[in-house]
């Protein structure tokens, strides 16, 4: 790719940003890169410069990547590069306007391909995710995960990892009362009363790693 593109990398881990930057500079000649570790920093960059693409992590300190995605997806192509699994999270991100979704377990060649697809104006999803989305379209039974908001997905994932409501509030920089509200909504939407049931649901729908 010889055309120059300006790409914003948004991830709170410096080692991830540096590794991604090295990969893209090696594979995409002429690419110009900027790095941000929070939503606030990313918005400052976006206000000052024009970008061809934002590569965005979802799990950020303070305001989540989902919030940045909602704010900029209508005007900027966004490729999600997340530690969150594709199941559930990818469909939610795509509904919010993401142009593609890859996990941090993705091979370097696939990640570069995803970046090239989005820079070329196309969407990118893995073969496994494409099959999952196609199955959801033709299935008579709607995937219950698709009914969850991005905050509810984050909360159920943390519950399944054994976090208390207080810990989740700290992790997501929200009040414990707000987290309790999300917990109650999860119970209503999924028909599940206990944290054990929510954890089982998260495992069955691959929202967390069984290990």
Listed by start position, the domains of the chain span 6-136, 144-204
Q: What is the CATH number of domain 144-204?
A: 1.10.10.10
Task: State how far the Cα of 164 lies from the Cα of 41, in Å rounded to an integer.
Answer: 29
pTM for the model? 0.80
Q: What is the CATH number of domain 6-136?
A: 3.40.50.2300
Cβ contacts of 148 within 8 Å, gap of 6 or more: 88, 92, 156, 186, 189
Per-residue pLDDT of the chain in tens (211 residues, 90 and over written 9): 445 899 999 999 999 999 999 999 999 988 999 999 999 999 999 999 999 999 999 988 878 899 999 999 999 999 999 988 887 788 889 989 999 999 998 889 999 999 999 999 999 988 877 776 766 655 545 668 878 888 899 899 899 999 999 999 998 888 999 999 999 999 999 999 899 999 999 988 878 776 6
């Amino acid at each position: 790719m010889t055309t120059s593109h300006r790409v914003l990398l948004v991830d709170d881990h410096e080692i991830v940003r540096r590794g991604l930057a090295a990969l893209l500079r090696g594979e995409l000649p002429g690419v110009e890169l900027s790095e941000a570790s929070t939503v606030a920093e990313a918005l400052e960059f976006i206000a000052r410069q024009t970008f061809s693409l934002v590569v965005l992590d979802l799990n950020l300190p303070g305001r989540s990547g989902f919030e940045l995605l909602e704010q900029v997806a209508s005007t900027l192509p966004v490729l999600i590069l997340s530690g969150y699994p594709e199941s559930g999270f990818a469909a939610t991100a795509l509904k919010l306007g993401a142009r593609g979704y890859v996990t941090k377990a993705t091979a370097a060649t696939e990640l570069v391909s995803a970046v090239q697809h989005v820079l070329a104006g196309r969407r990118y999803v893995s073969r496994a995710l494409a099959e999952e989305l196609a199955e959801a379209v033709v299935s008579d039974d709607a995937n219950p995960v698709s009914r969850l908001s991005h905050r509810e997905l984050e909360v159920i994932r943390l519950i399944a990892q054994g976090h208390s409501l207080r810990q989740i509030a700290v992790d997501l920089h929200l009040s414990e009362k707000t987290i309790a509200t999300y917990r109650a909504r999860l119970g209503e939407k999924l028909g599940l009363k206990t944290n054990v049931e929510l954890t089982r649901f998260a495992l069955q729908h691959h929202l967390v790693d069984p290990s």
